[in-house]
Structure 1
Amino acid sequence: METWPWEAYRADLSIDLSKHHKPTTYLDKVAYTTVKLLRIPTDLFFQRRYGCRAMMLETVAAVPGMVGGMVLHLRSIRRFEHSGGWTRALLEEAENERMHLMTMVELVKPKWYERLLVLIVQGVFFNAFFVLYVVSPKLAHRTVGYLEEEAIHSYTEYLKDIDSGTIENVRAPAIAIDYWMLPKDASLKDVITVIRADEAHHRYVNHFASDIHFQGKELREAPAPLDYR
């Protein structure tokens, strides 16, 4: 499979995976509690079926960046002002999460009812997050930051099951090898490792975006982090 240079990159595996944003403000606590409550039905439904779990979560994870990037894009052309690089940062986050999903689909091979569930969950979440982002970008970004922290936890558990032999460490799909520029003999463990690193980057970016709003600044006043991926 041929991949153009701008469709691939190398994940930064040196990023701190344990970093946690401690909830301090009221909105922080709302975001944190909401994410923890959402985890309960997810744990009950998927348990340790981390492949199916990741596929479903990536369907949701690909939405916030697209919504945020779209809102900032429209605001930029409506106000005739720059977005400080944030439009691109958020849209690339959405694209990165979409590639996570495409990779998991290759690995999981979802059944028809799982595909239907994806459509329902995405439709509900997109509209809900769009309203949230318009009303409170700070809360929206903080919520995504905590969702990414949960994603790091889920992928860590996924790796534990691979290491223990509970989940077979199969060959990495071609789409993942090309996108992350992995070795040709890369395995599932290599794929999950780079995806987890991506989620850690998204956690950092979204918490940072929320902090900017907390300080009363527009995103355009603070350029997006250069290492947003």
Structure 2
Amino acid sequence: MLAVVPEHRTPATWGDYFAWKFMRFCRWGMDFCTGMKGEQKVDKANPTTATHSIKPLTESQWMIRFLFLESIAGVPGMVAGMLRHLHSLRRLKRDNGWIETLLEESYNERMHLLTFMKMCEPGWFMKLMILGAQGVYFNGMVLSYLISPKITHRFVGYLEEEAVHTYTMAIKQIDDGHLPKCTGTCPEGKRTMRDLIMYIRADEACHRGVNHTLSNLDQKEDPNPFVSDYKGDRVPPTTRAQGSGL
């Protein structure tokens, strides 16, 4: 967990470039809706590598961002897993192990949300924002995955890059003493808020690598390289899937 740092995969194709720019547009929308002011934003030239902002956010601002981020982060894995499941049924073919990993990612993101819910109960306006965002995001992800799973996984990889960046900023602000309410233990009394964020950041870094790697593969034929057992006569595509995909 200590070794996790913000990373950025430079767009290599027009699809990568579109996914990256669209993700940055979504980030702008999130900043606008959650009230992040200009002096609280990081260097636009290095959006996923800067680890501080000029003006620290408050604990309530961080919690709003965490809740909003995790409420939509659990959507892509569920959408992709659902569509691949239906695709497998229609084609009467195996899925090569992708569905499990995608659903596991979605479940993991939901656990992040439920953990933060133990610390903060959002108001009615925040709940309406989440409801609206989920409706738009879910339908958009369904359409996107039907058109191009490769670009969609790249988009999610860039989204997870931003998540790692966000949690890295939060950890630094805790270490710098700007978030005194986050220095105590979590509700169960075993870990600190900083420990929790480090655990979650490590999960997001894993999702980042998984989605970038899945985007590199043949969406119909390549097996999932993140499962331990392979069935059939195909072998994992170690050349294209090697490493984190970054």
TM range (shorter): 0.7 to 0.9
* TM-aligned CA deviation for residue 44 of structure 1: 3.4
Write 1 or 2 for the structure with the bigger share of helix.
1
Q: Aligned-pair distance for 1:82?
A: 1.3
Instruction: Report the CA distance between 1:152 and its aligned residue.
Output: 0.4
Query: Are positions 1:185 and 2:190 aligned together?
Result: yes
- Give percent identity, aligned residues only: 40
5+ unaligned residues in a row in structure 1: which ranges? 1-12, 175-183
Per-residue Cα deviation, 1:185-209 (whole angstroms, up to 9, x for no partner): 2111010001000000001111111
Q: Deviation digits for residues 147-171 of structure 1, max 9, x if unmatched?
A: 0000001001111222222222232
Match of 2:222 in 1: 221
Please, which of 157, 163, 166 is the counterpart of residue 154 of structure 1?
166
Q: Displacement, 1:43?
A: 2.3
Alignment equivalent of 1:206, drawn from 195, 200, 211: 211
Match among 63, 79, 93 for residue 67 of structure 1:
79
Answer whether contact 2:150 2:215 (CA < 8 A) is retained.
yes
User: TM-score normalised to the size of structure 1?
Assistant: 0.83
Alignment CA distance shift 1:124-1:165 (3 Å): same
Between the aligned partners of 2:173 and 2:227, the Cα distance in structure 1 is: 33
For the pair shown, the structure with the greater C-alpha radius of gyration is 2
Q: Which runs of 4+ in 1 moved over 6 A?
A: none
- Residue 195 of structure 1 is matched in structure 2 by 200
Where relative contact order (Cα < 8 A, 6+ residues apart) is larger, the structure is 1
Aligned to 1:5: none
- Whole-Å Cα distance in 2 between the matches of residues 17 and 222 of structure 1? 28
Rate the CA distance shift 1:42–1:56 in 2: closer, same or farther, 3 A: same
Equivalent residue, structure 2, for 1:99:
111
